Structures are given as C-alpha cells and as structure tokens.
Amino acid sequence: MKWQYHLRVPAEITPCSVRHYLSKYLLIPRYKIYRLRKHQRVLVNHKYLPMNYQINAGDHVDLTFLPSDFREPFPNVDPDSAANVKIAYEDRDLLVVNKQRGDKTHPNQPGEIGTTLNHVAAYLQPKHEQPYIVHRLDQQTSGALIIAKNPAVVPILVRLISEKRIKRTYLAWCQGIFKKPSGIINQPIGYDPKDQRKRKINGLHAKRAITKYHVIKTKGNRSLVKINLMTGRTHQIRVHMASLGHPIIGDPLYNPETQLYDPMLLHSWQLKLIQPFYMNVVHVTTPLPNDFKI
C-alpha cells in the first residue's frame, strides 16, 4: 500500500526551495521530508531534484508515502456497525462525521467497541480504508469530528488545528441571561486537585485558555451561545462558561443543577476546514440535535 499525491504549485507561491514548499506550505513534518528525500519519493516535474532546488508556480510535485514512513501505519480499531454514522463531509483523505452525543470519540483499550471511531471503521471497511484519530470531542458533546483516512494527513491536520487555521464553531445552551452579549474569556485552565475528571480556572499546571462567545438568543432563563476556541484545552468551553456563572445546560460535571440523564447541550456546529496537501478551504455545518431547537 502507498499514498500518493500529484500536486501543482499554486500561483500564490513565490519561488522557493523544494524543502521550503514541503515544510512551510504543505506543513509536512521534518522527519517525513527526510524520508521522502532519502528514498527519492518527492519528484518535481517528474524527476528527483535536490531539496534546495527552486520550484515555481505551475510546477508539478509528486509525493509518495509508504507504510514504513509511519510508526503506526495501520490503526487497530475494531469495526462496529456503521448504521449510526452520519457523514457531513468526505474526500479521499478525510471525513467529518456528526458525532452522536454519548458516544466516546475513540477506544481507550484494545478490543473496545461502541465508539465513533469503531463505527467509522465499519463505514470505511468496504472501501479498504481505516480511520485515524485527529482530535477529540467530549463524550457528551455532539457534532463535527474530523477523522483522517490515511496516516499522511494526520500530522498536517493536527498542526492546522493547533495553529487555529482550522476553525471550529460551537453552539451551546447555557443557563441564565448574560449581562454582556459577547466577550472574550481569558482564564488559564488546569487540573482540579479534588476531582481527576475535572478542570478548573487556575488549577494545577494551568495553561493559557481563551474563548470567544456571542449570545444568539435567549429563551426563558436560557441563552443560546455561539462559541469559538482560540486555544484547545480539555473541557475549555465547559469550564469557561461555568466560570461566568452560565454553565452549559445538562453538563454533568460543571452544572450543579444537572439531573441524571439530562442531555448536555453542547454541539460542534461548523468547521472551516483546510484540505491537507491541496490547502483548499471547505466549510462544513453539522445539523443540530432535536433538543437544541428549544
């Protein structure tokens, strides 16, 4: 098996070395570039050229990745029923699924089934493809989840997410009426020393965390809020909303009014997605759960 890309250097690229194009534009990790160079699996206009060779807009670049380029080229994920898989977007390299609330993102131990990744493995099995984890959503969060279909795109997607070039927008029903209809929460988040499941403002080993929010509408004593993450800490939205005194409706950890079996109303709604290697922008919106339309 191999994964190949046949690319054309876009017009907006100024003349640069092959290495610069691979590293700075395509975001291929340095150790992957080393293997491509060592085994001459990067071609410019159909021939191998040194990494310092200057390429120009319109040149053709061919890349070939082999399983040996990756530490774990084939994930060990057991297929488990594709019936509940809802595809919001798919191309040759990745897909975006509308994750169901209550499903874990991925298995945590060998043989575990019932997670979103298991279901996607069953969906991809007839195509002889496998799912690769890129990022996570909390178990009780629904909505857009990016899953890779080959190992070559995983580090690129991870970097695009970490650099916030892939932008994610969430919707949440929060408790109460906000005094400020929009704002930025800049509060570091760390571990809660009293509960290993939880995070807290200025907790242990706290790291910078920034969340933007905008209230869309209110109904009764509830507010529908649009949220964008400027950083990506565990439970960031949940902790930040609770810190304002407006915890997410149904949050089992941070909303003390939550009752058993109350659904948590947090949904990963929209993605501004960038396709690895081609760097095209794709906008994806996932439908809201029925109980969001309150």
Q: What is the pLDDT of residue 85?
A: 94
Identify the band that residue 294 occupies on the pLDDT scale cut at 50, 70 and 90: low
Q: What percent of the chain has pLDDT over 90?
A: 92
d(CA 90, CA 226): 25
Burial of 179 (0-12, 13-18, 19+ CB in 10 A): exposed
How do residues 53-85 score in pLDDT, each as one tens digit?
A: 999 999 999 999 999 999 888 888 999 988 889
d(CA 294, CA 291): 6
- pTM score, two decimals? 0.93
Domains for the chain: give ranges and CATH numbers. 3-69 (3.10.290.10), 87-163+273-289 (3.30.2350.10), 168-262 (3.30.2350.10)
Residue 292 one-letter amino acid: F
Question: Residue 151: left if φ>0, alpha if ψ -120 to 50, beta else—which one?
Answer: alpha
- Paired with 271 in beta bridges are 168, 284
How do residues 104-128 score in pLDDT, each as one tens digit?
A: 999 988 888 999 999 999 999 999 9
Catalytic residue among 138, 192, 251, 262: 138
How do residues 153-198 score in pLDDT, each as one tens digit?
A: 999 999 999 999 999 999 999 999 999 999 999 999 999 999 999 9
Active site residue 138: yes
- The string of DSSP letters for 42-106 reads EEETTEE--TT-EE-TT-EEEEEE-GGGSSSSS--------TT--EEEE-SSEEEEEEPTT--SS
Neighbours of 245 (CB within 10 A): 11
d(CA 283, CA 294): 26
Here the tokens at position 19 are 């290495």
